[in-house]
Structure 1
Amino acid sequence: MLIGVISDTHGLLRPEALRILRGVNHIIHAGDIGTPEVIYALRAVAPVTAVRGNVDRGAWVAEFPQRQQITLEGVRLLILHDRHELLEQPADPEVRVIVTGHSHRALVETRDGVLYLNPGSAGPRRFRLPVSVALLTLQHGELRAEIVDLGALR
């Protein structure tokens, strides 16, 4: 199963991001969506699981929790916007992947058997950080994540 992971769009869904996400089986948005139109466009590509971030405001965000667990291909994933929320409420022991956003810094790191994945920011460029998304492959219980720099696709 191929999962597209995106975060911090802040209302801007770049054509390069959509190009990378075409063909994925599922999309995860780790918050700071910005506008509901971002979700509508992502849902046209694949089923979407999304959480709200600190900039998401208005009635439209009611359908998006701050934290969500899903199981795909037998792998439990936890999605939340800000990694620091784990200090207040740690992940369940069954969680194998923790997806976050917020920092705008891409991260793929495995600690104690848990894959921490932050796709970076796919929206407006912040400081000099790259604009990126991630692809997560789940196959026979194995996990592989890769960061895709959208700036290299122009």
Structure 2
Amino acid sequence: MDLSDRQRITLALISDTHGTLEHDLLPLLAECDVVVHAGDLVDPVELRQLAPRSGHVIVVRGNNDTPGQWPQDTETLLDSLPEQAEIALPGGLLVIEHGHRVNPARTRHQRLRRRHPEARAIVYGHTHRRVIDTDESPWVLNPGAAGRQRAYGGPGFLRLIATADHWEIESITLPKRGRDTYTSAHKKPQGRP
């Protein structure tokens, strides 16, 4: 997908919903131009709930996105999910993969950077733990779980705002109690790496 001609674009980076997408996130996701799901969707019904402004939803296949775990009669949709996706954004390339094939875990970020040196940022899931690693280029981002299963620190997502000269990452997390509001736990403005 090529969105590099946009002046500014906002992406919601989510992962690991496992069929339990936190519904309180939906209005926040709808405020973004594009939703990117880094795998382990498990229930395709969740795709119908995602309504970003542009209508673009990008999903890659996770280790739990298998015929045995998806509902019957969804094989065609499941088979259409790529292992990896790329989005050309203003200011650089975003690469998405689930990350379960990049092992061992202790060197995952190094290995992802070696696999995708052309990227400005790499998004992966699998661990259910939110990570914003912008210390090196390309950045390595894990949005954590947007579902209710093993949502360490609470369900949430990363918001990426991209322009040609500036990328900014913001972590959005629902509080553990009274999930009717959200908090911004981390906002990290970033210039060109």
Please report the TM-score for the alignment, with normalisation by the length of structure 1: 0.88
What is the aligned partner in structure 2 of residue 39 from structure 1? 47
Q: For 2:175, what is the secondary structure of its paired residue?
A: helix
Q: Which amino acid aligns with 1:106?
A: R
- Distance apart, 1:94 and its partner CA: 1.7
Runs of 5+ consecutive residues of structure 1 not aligned to the other structure? none
Equivalent position of 2:32 in the other structure: 24
Identify the match of residue 85 of structure 2 among 59, 68, 80: 68
What's the TM-score, normalizing by structure 2? 0.71
Q: Is contact 1:75-1:141 (8 Å) kept?
A: no
Give the superposition deviation at 1:21: 0.7
* 2: CA distance, partners of 1:144 / 1:83: 26
**Offset, 1:130:** 2.1
Match of 1:110?
134
Deviations 1:50-98 (A, max 9, x none): 1011111221311111111221224201101116526489433220110
Matched, 1:53 2:94: no
Q: What amino acid maps onto 1:17 in structure 2?
A: L
Contact 2:95 2:119 in 1 (8 A): yes
What is the aligned length? 153
- Whether the aligned pair in 2 keeps the contact of 1:109 and 1:117 (CA below 8 Å) is yes
Q: CA RMSD in A?
A: 2.2
Q: Which has the larger radius of gyration?
A: 2
Distance 1:89 1:63, change over 3 A: farther
Q: Look up the SS of the partner of 1:31 in the other structure.
A: coil
Higher mean C-alpha deviation, range 73-82 or range 100-109 = 73-82
**Structure 1 residues 106 and 65 mapped into 2: Cα distance closer, same or farther (>3 Å)?**
same
The reply to whether residue 139 of structure 1 matches residue 168 of structure 2 is no
CA displacement 1:33-59 (0-9 Å, x = unmatched): 0111112222x3331111011111221
Q: Aligned residues: percent identity?
A: 32
* CA contact 1:3–1:135 (8 Å) conserved in 2: yes
In structure 2, runs of 5+ residues without a counterpart are: 1-8, 68-74, 103-107, 181-193
